[in-house]
């Protein structure tokens, strides 16, 4: 008897070995997309209906990489048949009462729920019909699963990944982002890390939803774990916009002054890019870059100096203000190369404004030519 005939007879078999039989047949049929597609539905009703776990299609229990998406679920007809069955099984798990055989920390068969959610994510990817069929279920899982237990968080995380990977409704995506926001408040650093990693992936498409959790994300900059700090920095930089640039830059500059050495270069570059893109004024832009130079001047990129010089050149009304501010910065610290390079160029170009001692934008500094030259050439 060949494998195809065996699949035809499987619904009439009895015994606990049926699942293994199906798995063996599917292994033999691997690579034969036409045979798998024609018999995919037959394995969905192989096992008895004694428990929610027993109703799971045999192939759903295996890792998704065993049967690539393009091979097993390539047919639209099979997707339409499989998704409603999986939705009913999942609803049974979510709404079922306590079962000592399958319950883990108050969650009914969480391992099975995770497998079903992963398969639904494959089936719903770029498939609007399949996505619509599972939207209500995903909302139900997201609202009814206990998030106080680690096992519940595992189910919720898979739910979030599924919601974000299918063509889900906007309200459901906001719910998924809010779940990730709750993860940021978790005491487990690993949960906070994966939450920020997921938020980083969707900040471009769901920017407004992620913005609601900006305060929590900024608080993660103070985390003791270096990997969490790095993720929080990347996500914070991605959240900077024209409406919040002042408040976000204030937090990022505070972080820059105390962050680990290995993060200073990344933080400085991110601040420069955000300031260039969203600067509310030229003066604010210059002040921000000078603040970075005085805080982490040794960790900025080489192009920072010519870029700042170009910015100062274009801001003709701020020449007096800038040359006075740079001179004050040199009096406090002359060891930072990038700062010294910009200051020397600026003093060379606009030294006459410094010698006049007149500046409306800031308190003027009384400077005499001879002591100044002596200071730089000693």
121-131 confidence digits (pLDDT tens): 888 888 888 88
The predicted structure's pLDDT at residue 98: 57
Residue 70 has pLDDT above 70, yes or no: no
Measure the CA–CA gap between 41 and 291, rounded to whole angstroms: 64
Within 8 A by CB and 6+ apart from 220, the residues are 184, 192, 196, 228, 229, 231, 232
**What is the pLDDT averaged over residues 307-318?**
90
Chain-centre distance of CA 19, in angstroms? 38
pTM, two decimals, is: 0.71
Measure the CA–CA gap between 178 and 206, rounded to whole angstroms: 11
Q: Which of 80-84, 130-134, 186-190, 202-206 bottoms out in mean pLDDT, i.e. has the lowest? A: 80-84
Name the burial class of residue 224, with classes exposed (0-12), middle (13-18) and buried (19+) by CB atoms within 10 angstroms of its CB: exposed
**What is the pLDDT averaged over residues 333-341?**
86
Within 8 A by CB and 6+ apart from 169, the residues are 135
The predicted structure's pLDDT at residue 350: 84
**What is the pLDDT averaged over residues 135-151?**
84
Q: Is 149 left (phi over 0), alpha (psi -120 to 50) or beta?
A: beta
* Per-position b or e across 55-93, b if 16+ CB within 10 A of its CB: bbbbbbbbebeebeeeebbebeebbeebbebbbebbebb
The predicted structure's pLDDT at residue 218: 93
| pLDDT > 90 fraction of the chain, expressed in percent and rounded | 28
- CA Rg, the chain, in Å? 30
Summary mean pLDDT of the chain: 77
Residue 36 · residue 26 · CB < 8 Å: yes
The predicted structure's pLDDT at residue 150: 82
Tell me which residue of 341, 361, 360, 357 sits closest to 349, measured CA to CA.
341
91-126 confidence digits (pLDDT tens): 877 777 656 666 677 777 788 888 888 988 888 888
Residue 222 has pLDDT above 50, yes or no: yes
Separate counts of helices (H) and strands (E) for the chain: 20, 2
Residue 276 · residue 269 · CB < 8 Å: no
Most confident of 8-17, 279-288, 291-300: 279-288
Please give the structure tokens belonging to residue 233.
């920095």
11-31 confidence digits (pLDDT tens): 444 443 444 454 454 455 455
N residues, the chain: 378
Chain-centre distance of CA 237, in angstroms? 12
Chain-centre distance of CA 225, in angstroms? 17
10: pLDDT confidence band, cut at 50, 70 and 90?
very low
Answer with the residue of higher pLDDT: 234 or 25. 234
The predicted structure's pLDDT at residue 127: 83
The predicted structure's pLDDT at residue 147: 77
Q: Which of 20-24, 68-72, 150-154 bottoms out in mean pLDDT, i.e. has the lowest? A: 68-72
362: pLDDT confidence band, cut at 50, 70 and 90?
low
The predicted structure's pLDDT at residue 89: 82
**What is the pLDDT averaged over residues 208-217?**
92
Q: Which of 72-76, 137-141, 196-200, 285-289 bottoms out in mean pLDDT, i.e. has the lowest? A: 72-76
The predicted structure's pLDDT at residue 221: 92
Q: Considering Cα of 202, then 207, then 209, then 211, what sign does the dihedral take?
A: positive
Answer with the residue of higher pLDDT: 299 or 287. 287
Residue 318 · residue 312 · CB < 8 Å: yes
**What is the pLDDT averaged over residues 246-263?**
91
The predicted structure's pLDDT at residue 278: 94
365: pLDDT confidence band, cut at 50, 70 and 90?
low
194: pLDDT confidence band, cut at 50, 70 and 90?
very high
């Amino acid at each position: 008897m060949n494998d195809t005939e065996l699949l035809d007879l499987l619904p009439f078999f009895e015994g606990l070995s049926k699942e293994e039989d199906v798995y063996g047949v599917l292994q033999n049929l691997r690579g034969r997309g036409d045979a798998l597609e024609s018999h995919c539905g037959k394995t969905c009703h192989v096992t008895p209906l004694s428990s929610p776990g027993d109703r799971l299609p045999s192939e759903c229990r295996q890792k998704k990489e065993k049967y690539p998406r393009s091979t097993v679920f390539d047919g639209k007809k099979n997707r339409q048949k499989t998704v409603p069955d999986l939705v009913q099984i999942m609803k049974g798990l979510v709404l079922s009462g306590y079962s000592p055989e399958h319950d883990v920390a108050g969650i009914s068969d969480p391992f099975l729920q995770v497998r079903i959610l992963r398969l639904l994510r494959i089936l719903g990817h770029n498939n609007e019909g399949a996505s619509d069929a599972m939207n209500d279920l995903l909302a139900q899982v997201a609202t009814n699963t206990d998030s106080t237990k680690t096992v519940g968080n595992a189910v919720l995380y898979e739910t979030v990944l599924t919601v974000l990977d299918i063509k889900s409704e906007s309200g459901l995506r906001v719910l998924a982002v809010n779940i990730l926001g709750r993860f940021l408040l978790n005491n487990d650093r690993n949960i906070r890390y994966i939450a920020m990693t997921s938020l980083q992936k969707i900040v471009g498409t769901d920017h407004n939803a992620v913005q609601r959790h900006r305060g929590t994300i900024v608080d993660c900059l103070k985390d003791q774990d270096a990997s969490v700090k790095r993720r929080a920095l990347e996500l914070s930089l991605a959240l900077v916009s024209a409406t919040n640039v002042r408040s976000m830059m204030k937090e990022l500059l505070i972080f820059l002054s105390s962050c680990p050495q290995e993060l200073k270069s990344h933080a400085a570059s991110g601040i420069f890019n955000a300031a260039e893109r969203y600067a509310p004024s030229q003066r604010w832009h210059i002040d921000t870059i000078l603040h970075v130079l005085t805080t982490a001047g040794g960790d900025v990129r080489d192009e920072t100096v010519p870029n700042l010089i170009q910015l100062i050149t274009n801001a003709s009304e701020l020449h007096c203000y800038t040359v006075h501010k740079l001179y004050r910065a040199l009096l406090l610290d002359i060891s930072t190369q990038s700062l010294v390079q910009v200051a020397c160029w600026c003093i060379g170009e606009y030294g006459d404004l410094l010698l006049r001692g007149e500046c409306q934008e800031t308190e003027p500094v009384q400077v005499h030519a001879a002591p100044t030259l002596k200071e730089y050439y000693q």
